A and B are shown apart, each in its own frame.
Chain A
Amino acid sequence: MDDDDYWNTSETKAKAFSFDDDVLSPQEILAIGQRSYSGSKEEGVLSSNISSVKPAHIPLSSLVSPKILDLMVLAQSGNDPAKETKQEPEETVAITLKRLVLGRRCSLHVHRSLKSKTELLDGAIAIGDGNAILTVVLFLIQTLNRKVVYELLSSRPAALGHYISTLQSEGKISELTDFLTMLGRSPDSAIYQFQHAVKNQGNNLESLLRKMSNLLANHFNQPGVDAHQTKMVADYVKLLEWQNFAKKTELNNKSALQCLAYCCSFHWTEGAGNMMSPLTLCQRQQISPLQYDWVVLNVHANSNKWDIVESLFTKKDWFGRTTVSSHIPIETLLSRLSELKASERMLASCVNKIAGTEDRLRLAQKYKIHSVVIETLAKQKDRAALTNYKMTLNPQSEEYIYAENTLRDSSIKWKN
């Protein structure tokens, strides 16, 4: 298909995920694709070759000349060319930097004055090769005293960043802390230590709890640390303490919502005040009503306890009709209920909560809540639409009969 055709047929693109009626369903395509051919017994043998269909290559010799190929190998290895084994007569800053960038062996120790050390650092930063920057920084740390190094680094953020990144990835966390404290960046130090701790402590409750309490008391209370960040660490400690009480290894270092899901499954009936009660955990970790509803819905629906779901999310109104009441916004609730395969009755009471007739009809159709579609169309006295809708239903099904009966209802004054 050429490109003009492409753009001509792209009208549908504005409406995502809508398909022509003429289009075969995925199942139909699959059926055609999987139908075997007459005389295709070799299929199994052939299909094993399928993935190995590889394009033919141009021979290496016509791609690049042998000399260039040697050069590429040389560049990769970072070795000196064979004929240049003798050392360059004078190691200038530029020569050293160039050798660093090329990955060649070089001795930084010829640079002894602070001036040439500074030039090395600035040159490496200017080139922007992290490997060279880091090599120079580590050389400075080896050969200068801390105060001088820190002065050099604190005015050069790029060099500083590389050093911090290395200390972090090598796990030298106490060095990193000292360094950042000296620079007056204790808030950064707190979060780096936090990251290091959670990545390395594993899920051992005792040591996590000790580590976090210590971080909270000694690092997250420093001036300059964001108050909300501190609160999060404090909440972490609270949750770890709760997990310590719960003594369930499968809950160790799990999230608050995961713990809540556990409590909902196994301690649903326990009242507030009891440590394992979902309500206690909710209060303790300040889980929002929305998140609480979401967890409760999913846990109970997944274990098929629809009675609980219903009793929680529906209530009878003055006229004895059931209506849905939840912190989950109604469209989201509807979509989730449908995914969880809730009963049509449940879905119907949910969609009926939507005030706008158009919206209600659209969603009822989307989630195939037939009774609501039929009732809404009847209320609109739209016989044509209802007749059309009936055609899409399975004949003899309950909803088909309901639609038919509604159409025959003489009390409705149809508008068409």
Chain B
Amino acid sequence: MEPLQAKLVSMCLISQHKLEKILSLCGDKSDLIIDSALIKPLERICGVTWLRQHGVEKIYKMDPQLGPTVNIIKVYFIPACIQKYKCVLDHISSQLSQKPSLADLNCFNIIIVPKVLHTYDSILESRGMHGVVKLHSFSWELMSLDDRLLSLELPFLFKQLYVEQNLSLLSSISMSLWSLFHVTGRPKCVMSLGKLSSSVLDILEIYNETYSRDFVKNYSSDEIDTLVLIDRNQDYASSLLTPATYSGLLSEIFNISCGHLDLNVKETKYKKGKLNFTADAEDTSKKVTMTLDSSIDNLYGEIKHRHFSEVLSVLSSKAKLLKNEDIKALGIQEIKHFVTTKLQQVTLFKQNLVNHVLACETIISEMNNKFENITFTESEMLNNRNKKSNYSFVDENFGTDIHMYNSLRLMCLLSLTQGLSYDEYNTLVNKYLLAFGYKFLYIFNNLINAGLLVQPSSPKLSLNISNLSGLSDRLPRWQNSFQSLASKLKQLPSQADNSKTSPSYVFNGGYIPLIAIVCNALLTSESLSEALTKLSVLNDLKLGGSILDNTKEGMETLNEKLSNLKLQNSELDFGCRDAKTLQKLLKTDPKLTSAFSLKTKSVLVYVIGGVTYAEVAACNVIQTATGSKIYVASDCIASGCDFMAANT
């Protein structure tokens, strides 16, 4: 394992240390009452034995109906979700009402991941439980799920940040970066794309300013030159499209949490989202879990990024090798040798092989008939071709084999790429509500708020425009903003130019994810200046990092920044500054010359709001082609379904 990867894997020890400090404040002999969503992430940080060694006697799953537990000291362990928090408070209240003396024992603790929000304090106070219940923030570190793949494993962030537009937990991203850079060193150049990303950098700078002055010398990193932070809504297409890679399709069909795939071949995400016309059979099959980590499962490492059409042939060639080994006649000594050295490996390999084949079979049986038609239609939408037949494809899908989430994805993609008229929009909404219930009417409002869906104006309002639309049809090849930006960034490969080294294979040749474009621009340019020129169509680009350190006039503290803040809604520019303005300054300010001559050889790209396996695979292509290193990080690894489910 390369040194940096080893460090990243070991960051769980920092999380462990942080948890240890919290548990030591809670006291000895406690009951840990854990929310089920946190079990898998916690397993990555510590085991049951470790918990026992640190004062936890019993472990319970949090449930509103949970009866009395054994020990006096209770440690609740929940994610920062207000409903779950209230549920815990109710649970504590009911214990207090049965036994009021507990209030003085200082025995109630709630650990909240990733942090305690101010509103939680107020709620506690308003319920009269201040001083009775102690709240602890637990900000665990980025988890290394696979080679060069990091995740904060906070799957509820997309919903909060984009659907509810509540940025209360945004600082957790800053904190994760702040910690990470203590391990890896600080990248010389920092780039942000999107509003949330630039806020993350501003908050990060506040952490730096507060904690660095005393004794921490933050060295600059040799292993990560550039950090790219990007908002999920800068590239929704990549989160909506159907992936063609093996790992991408795994996440379409199976539930994956914390890098562990639940190999449930009967109740797949595909089946669960559809209308069910048969009586449910109780699923009694044994639970099989696959760990999606190439350092544990080499075979997965070999196939994870491949186009799905190749995967079975790789698996079959592996099986043939195994078969050949099998027929070798072994002597007694050889058997002994085999058993002691290779048997475990071979057994593990066989088990992995079987699991991957089962997964492949499931993918084929669920998607075989649909995959080609869907990816074809998606590609037509991206290129703004045949709007009518694309719409009728979506309309037919809504009328027949409708899926709770996947059908919405198609609707959103069509809306973002080619637009939906008022009537088309309402026809789809009506079909969806007939199928799943009128109660889901609010989903569409949430999708609109998140920017995943564009609400067409009602015909009354658009009367004047409709007169003009006849004109615009006659204009040469009308493009909407999606296509014009995507084609300027060369995200839409033309069919003639479908070279095999194109990262677009992750979406069956249809589209190159934005993060791959940005990484490619950075890694193939001789200087930052050149990279910025390539990316000049991106409007929200900002720069920061140590390359700009000597451009600051004197010490610019937060205090000064804030007092200079005059207009409403103006940018703070504390942790980063507008790239275009800096480029203009370059001509007059020689101090910037060295900053803009930086050549990037390694990138950490951090997507705020979830990254997909297809995007990771696309970055892998860039990494190979440029002989560089790309680390991908996010708050979670999500699939298209997950982005839709966040709106329910």
Contacts and interface: CB of A to CB of B under 8 A. Distances in A.
Contacts of B170: 128-130
A33 interface: yes
A72 B433 contact: no
Contacts of B310: 9-10, 12-13
Given A17-B309, A76-B139, A198-B442, A71 B400 contact: no
Contacts of A97: 558, 562
Given A32-B322, A97-B562, A294 B400 contact: yes
Interface string B155-166: 000000000111
Interface string A369-407: 000000000000000000000000000000000000000
Contacts of A6: 306
Contacts of B438: 232-233, 235-236, 239, 255-256
A16 B309 contact: yes
A73 interface: yes
Given A98-B206, A128-B170, A38 B14 contact: no
B441 interface: yes
A164 to B, nearest CB: 9
A103 B346 contact: no
Given A10-B310, A232-B438, A239-B438, A294 B357 contact: no
Interface stretch (B233-241, B364-372, B380-388, B542-550): B364-372
Given A47-B351, A71-B211, A299 B277 contact: yes
Contact of B168 (A1, A3, A18, A131): A131
B305 to A, nearest CB: 9
Contacts of B368: 17
A115 to B, nearest CB: 13
Given A16-B309, A30-B357, A128 B166 contact: no
A134 B119 contact: yes
A63 B10 contact: yes
A356 interface: no
Contacts of B361: 26
Given A24-B316, A128-B203, A63 B119 contact: no
Contacts of B206: 98, 101-102, 127
Nearest to B343: A40
Nearest to B122: A138
Contacts of B442: 191, 194-195, 198
A232 B364 contact: no
A296 to B, nearest CB: 10
Interface stretch (A222-230, A271-279, A311-319): A222-230
B313 A255 contact: no
A248 to B, nearest CB: 15
B54 interface: no
B127 interface: no
Interface string B106-120: 000000000111110
A245 interface: no
B353 A63 contact: no
A239 B207 CA distance: 55
Interface in A134-164: 134-135, 138, 155-156, 158, 161-162
B574 to A, nearest CB: 7
B529 interface: no
Interface string A10-44: 10111111111011101011101111011110110
Interface in B372-399: 372, 375, 396, 399
Given A42-B343, A95-B559, A195-B442, 10 more contacts: A18-B309, A33-B319, A128-B572, A133-B167, A162-B168, A194-B441, A195-B445, A198-B439, A261-B275, A302-B278
Interface of B: 1, 6-7, 9-14, 17-18, 21, 82-83, 115-119, 122-123, 136-139, 164-171, 175, 178-179, 182-183, 195-196, 198-200, 202-203, 206-207, 210-211, 214-216, 244, 275, 277-278, 289, 291, 295-296, 302, 306-310, 312-313, 315-316, 319-320, 322-323, 326, 330, 335, 338-339, 343-344, 346-348, 350-351, 353-354, 357-358, 360-361, 364, 367-369, 371-372, 375, 396, 399-401, 426, 429-431, 433-439, 441-442, 445, 458, 498, 500-501, 505, 508-509, 557-559, 562-563, 565, 568-572, 574, 624
The list of the 6 closest CB pairs from A to B, nearest first, reads A128-B199, A130-B167, A236-B438, A13-B307, A130-B168, A195-B442
25 contacts: A12-B309, A17-B368, A28-B319, A39-B338, A50-B344, A50-B348, A55-B296, A58-B10, A63-B7, A78-B116, A101-B171, A102-B206, A103-B116, A127-B203, A129-B171, A131-B115, A158-B165, A161-B165, A169-B83, A239-B438, A255-B437, A256-B438, A257-B275, A258-B275, A291-B431
